[in-house]
């Protein structure tokens, strides 16, 4: 390993590669928790070193509930990563979370189940409970918000990310329930990723891209399609890339 990279980007749906990323090398890693989603890409974005990992794999074949979140996070930490910018496609629940808008969420509610969600379960010297009152890194969020303002990118400056199990989308009643709970956006990968980063002491923040209105929030009878999701995410991706580049160059 040369100079350890400090910042990593975890890409989601629509971000399996980063335009403008100069690839230096790809590294296949094995971890005590199994294989990460793919080789870790060491590269340069706007002249700054970064590690890139698409969480669904480079061909987008790993569904949210089958992602090895522990291996991904452990591998990044092992490379010396101290900050993670996570990009994630989400559905918009509340009125201001319209498709193609970027959101820098500040809270999470976890509805996922059956995922390996902690590093703290085997060979423990003592039981550990991490503080997760503020699930995202305050200073990374601040950098993202300042970068967005500097670039004139319209972002929702806060919001609660409801993390669902997937891979199916939600029912209308489930979305109503999530909104009643305080959820603004809904996605399938926000957890346990954020909590595992906290367990490892890595700063973590999310740039969510609203890909569609959540179930029942579009016109009556509207069905959410993958084409719609892909199209909206790809329209927003240019802003995501500009935002990431600005945060990394800070
Ligand atoms: N629900 C859950 N996850 C998602 C959605 C959604 O509507 N859109 C993109 N990811």
- Interval 91-123: pLDDT, tens: 999 999 999 999 999 999 999 999 999 999 877
pTM here is: 0.95
**Residue closest by Cα to atom 5 of ligand 1:** 91
Residue to substitute in 14, 56, 60, 90 for testing ligand 1 pocket (most ligand atoms within 8 angstroms of CB): 90
Is residue 237 over pLDDT 50? yes
CB 229 within 8 A of CB 209: no
Q: What is the dihedral of CA 84, 87, 91, 95, to 10 degrees?
A: 80
| Fold of the CATH domain 6-249 | Rossmann fold (3.40.50)
pLDDT in tens, 143-195: 999 999 999 999 999 999 999 999 999 999 999 999 999 999 999 999 999 99
Computed over every residue of the chain, the mean pLDDT equals: 93
Task: Name 203's bridge partners.
Answer: 83
Q: 175 CB under 6 A from ligand 1? A: no
In the numeric block, the tokens 């902690």 are attached to: 118
pLDDT tier at 67, thresholds 50, 70, 90? very high
Q: 185 CB under 6 A from ligand 1? A: no
pLDDT in tens, 18-54: 877 888 899 999 999 999 999 999 999 888 999 999 9
CB 51 within 8 A of CB 1: no
Q: 103 CB under 6 A from ligand 1? A: no
Rounded mean pLDDT, 68-80: 97
At 248 the three-state DSSP class reads: helix
At 228 the three-state DSSP class reads: helix
Rounded mean pLDDT, 202-217: 97
Question: How close is the Cα of 236 to the center of ligand 1, in Å?
Answer: 15
Q: Find all residues with CB under 8 Å of 179, minimum gap 6, and list them.
A: 93, 94
Atom of ligand 1 nearest to the CA of 64: 3
């Amino acid at each position: 390993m040369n100079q350890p990279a400090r910042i990593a980007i975890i890409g989601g749906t629509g971000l399996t590669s980063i335009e403008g990323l100069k690839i230096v090398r790809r590294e296949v890693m094995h971890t005590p928790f199994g294989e990460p989603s793919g080789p870790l890409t060491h590269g340069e974005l706007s002249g700054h070193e970064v590690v890139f990992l698409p969480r669904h794999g480079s061909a987008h074949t790993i569904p949210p509930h089958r992602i090895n979140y522990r291996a991904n996070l452990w591998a990044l930490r092992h490379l010396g990563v101290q900050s993670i910018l996570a990009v994630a496609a989400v559905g918009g629940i509340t009125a201001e979370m319209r498709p193609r808008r970027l959101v820098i969420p500040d809270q999470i509610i976890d509805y996922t189940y059956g995922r390996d969600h902690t590093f703290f379960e085997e060979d423990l010297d003592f039981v550990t409970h991490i503080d997760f009152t503020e699930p995202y890194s305050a200073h990374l969020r601040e950098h993202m918000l300042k970068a967005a303002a500097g670039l004139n990118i319209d972002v929702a400056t806060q919001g609660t990310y409801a993390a669902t199990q997937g891979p199916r989308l939600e029912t209308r009643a489930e979305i109503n329930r999530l909104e009643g709970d305080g959820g603004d956006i809904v996605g399938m990968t926000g957890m346990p990723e954020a909590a595992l980063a906290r367990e490892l002491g890595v700063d973590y923040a999310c740039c969510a891209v609203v890909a569609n209105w959540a179930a029942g929030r579009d016109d009556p009878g509207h069905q959410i399609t993958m084409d719609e999701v892909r199209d909206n995410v790809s329209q927003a991706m240019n802003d995501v890339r500009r935002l990431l580049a600005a945060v990394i160059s800070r």
